[in-house]
Amino acid sequence: MLVDYHTHNQLCKHADGGIEDYILHAIDIGLTEIGISDHSPMPNDWDIDVRMYEEQFWKEYKPNVLELIEKYKDRITVKFALEGDFFPGTEDWVREFNGKNEFDYVIGSVHYLGEWGFDNPLYVGKFNTTDIDQVYLSYYDHIKRSAQSGLFDIVGHCDLVKKFGHRPTRNIDEILRETFTIVKQSGMAVEINTSGLRKPVKEIYPSENILSILSEMKIPLTLGSDAHTPTDVGRDFDSAKHLAEKYGNGKISIYSRRQRSEIFV
């Protein structure tokens, strides 16, 4: 059984196709579940160029997802979700917003270090003027704080910082273990996200080194394509399934109303 828990749609302004298009492709390729998890709105229209307005969430996103859950219930399980951002200072707003909804799960991702959108191609040049080891330290500090916040269920693309191919100059396994100890304590799962294969780094998130640490710590896994076009749903899932078998005992996590259970891939 395969599920894709990380998908986007045109409401985020940098993806193609409507929500239904993603569901239909998931049905075509034989997925058992698809999660609709577009970028969450944020307070004061923060980062609005790459996410929906809050008004759009209430008037378009939520009612559309709930309608499609019912429409396709006999063909595929559709999950109502979001990809949230961990951005220090917004925790109370996010907690209140999440509490107003009956999400099946919320992905917690780090896309910003301060005001730097480090995964945005427009700002990739900053890597050339910044200590890469400090970037990694800051990134994993944010992952730890995201897990400690209790706001999220799944760690999204947990080594996104490697997106453009920048690597730390020293071994950071100790930092990784400290980080994922907090993730373990939080009860979160970590996604195997295949979109890294479509990025300059050409590598799944997370690396096999991280997956080996997750396996050792018995941290559960789930699957996501991070699709920004319908045909990317389930893309490269043969590779993702292999990694789940190798590092997750062949199991992946699924969610309903923010309660986790496991199935075999």
Over residues 63-88, mean pLDDT: 98
**Structure confidence at residue 172 (pLDDT):** 98
Nearest by Cα to 22 from 11, 12, 36:
36
Residue 243: pLDDT band with limits 50, 70, 90: very high
**Structure confidence at residue 108 (pLDDT):** 98
Over residues 142-149, mean pLDDT: 98
User: What separation in angstroms does the CA of 78 have from each of 107, 151, 152, 189, 224?
Assistant: 16, 22, 19, 19, 14
Residue 36: pLDDT band with limits 50, 70, 90: very high
pLDDT at 207 over 90: yes
Residue-wise pLDDT for 210-222, tens only, equals 999 999 999 999 9
Residue 75, judged by CB atoms within 10 A of its CB (0-12, 13-18, 19+), counts as exposed
User: At CA 113, angle to CA 254 and CA 50, rounded to 5?
Assistant: 65
Residues in the chain: 265
Over residues 153-172, mean pLDDT: 98
Q: What is the CATH number of the domain that holds 156?
A: 3.20.20.140
**CA atoms of 106 and 80, how far apart (whole Å):** 9
Q: Supply the range of the domain harboring residue 256.
A: 3-264
pLDDT at 164 over 90: yes
Over residues 178-205, mean pLDDT: 98
Residue 1: pLDDT band with limits 50, 70, 90: confident
Over residues 18-45, mean pLDDT: 98
**CA atoms of 246 and 41, how far apart (whole Å):** 36
Percentage, residues of the chain above pLDDT 90: 100
Amino acid identity of residue 228, one-letter, is: H
Q: How many domains does the chain have?
A: 1
